């Protein structure tokens, strides 16, 4: 099965994270999937921002939920980039997207967009909250979902059970907290496993040794190197 390279917030190691510039470079570098985070603005727009506040990633301050889309548009998200809405990303790149949803309120807004634009085959929904994945699956039958967790290897069985309970197809875990036993347990249950963040050659070798199905990375070099790393 193909080993997927997932561009983490685009290629945030070399470009401003969660910006069109970062996503476009990830696509040019051949990333198989682009992972981004979604939050709702004050007026209900689906914007690509990781943190609950804009302080770290823009020249502004305050909570995303307290700012309108127009106010978010005025911020510099790095190198003159602005905070994009999901539909902009969908129109700018053609590769599949993995959309991480932080809270339950965002799920129905994303579900409506997926249904309206027939995106179930292109957008998979990720979250560390089972309720988000369950609600998304209820609203969009057949949508692919990813359970994200930082569970240590000792909790592998519980993690597999949690993923199966909400119908997730993949689990995504901090690669440095994964064991071969955990990966084999997930695979035996029919789940795919990806690791994050794979930002060095040593971690890429570990991902291959563990038999992972893919790796999320901040750097474009991992994509080119990954094709030749056994």
**Rounded CA separation 72/174 (Å):** 31
- Its pTM surpasses 0.85: yes
Q: Residue 187: how many CA atoms within 13 Å on its side-chain side?
A: 14
Q: What mean pLDDT do residues 28-33 have? A: 97
Contacts with 11 (C-beta within 8 Å, 6 or more apart), sequence order: 22, 25, 26, 29, 31, 217, 218, 219, 220
In angstroms, the CA 73 to CA 30 distance is 28
Write phi, then psi, for 170 (nearest 5 degrees).
Answer: -140, 150
> Does 114 have pLDDT greater than 90?
yes
Question: Using one digit for the tens of pLDDT, what is the confidence trace for 55-92?
Answer: 999 999 999 999 999 999 999 999 999 999 999 999 99
Q: d(Cα 177, Cα 203) in Å, to the nearest integer?
A: 12
Please tell me the predicted confidence (pLDDT) of residue 63: 98
First to last CA, the chain: 13
Least confident range from 16-25, 34-43, 148-157, 162-171: namely 148-157
pLDDT reading at 152 higher than 80: no
Q: pLDDT class for 230, splitting at 50, 70, 90? A: very low
């Amino acid at each position: 099965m193909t080993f997927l390279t997932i561009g983490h917030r685009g290629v945030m190691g070399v470009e401003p994270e969660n910006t069109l510039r970062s996503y476009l470079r990830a696509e040019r570098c051949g990333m198989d999937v682009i992972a981004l985070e979604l939050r709702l603005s004050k007026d209900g727009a689906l914007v690509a921002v990781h943190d609950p506040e804009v302080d770290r990633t823009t020249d502004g301050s305050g909570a995303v939920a307290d700012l309108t889309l127009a106010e978010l548009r005025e911020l510099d998200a790095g190198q003159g980039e602005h905070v994009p809405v999901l539909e902009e990303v969908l129109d700018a790149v053609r590769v599949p997207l993995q959309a991480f949803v932080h809270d339950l309120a965002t799920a129905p807004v994303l579900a409506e967009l997926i249904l309206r634009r027939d995106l179930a085959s292109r957008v998979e929904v990720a979250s560390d909250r089972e309720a988000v994945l369950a609600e998304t699956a209820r609203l969009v039958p057949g949508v692919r979902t990813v359970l994200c967790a930082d569970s240590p290897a000792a909790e592998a069985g519980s993690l597999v059970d949690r993923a199966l309970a909400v119908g997730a197809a993949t689990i995504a875990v901090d690669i440095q907290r994964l064991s071969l036993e955990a990966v084999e347990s997930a695979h035996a249950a029919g789940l795919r496993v990806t690791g994050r963040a794979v930002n060095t050659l040593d971690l890429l070798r570990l991902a291959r040794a563990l038999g992972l199905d893919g790796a999320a990375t901040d750097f474009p070099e991992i994509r080119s190197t990954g094709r030749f790393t056994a």
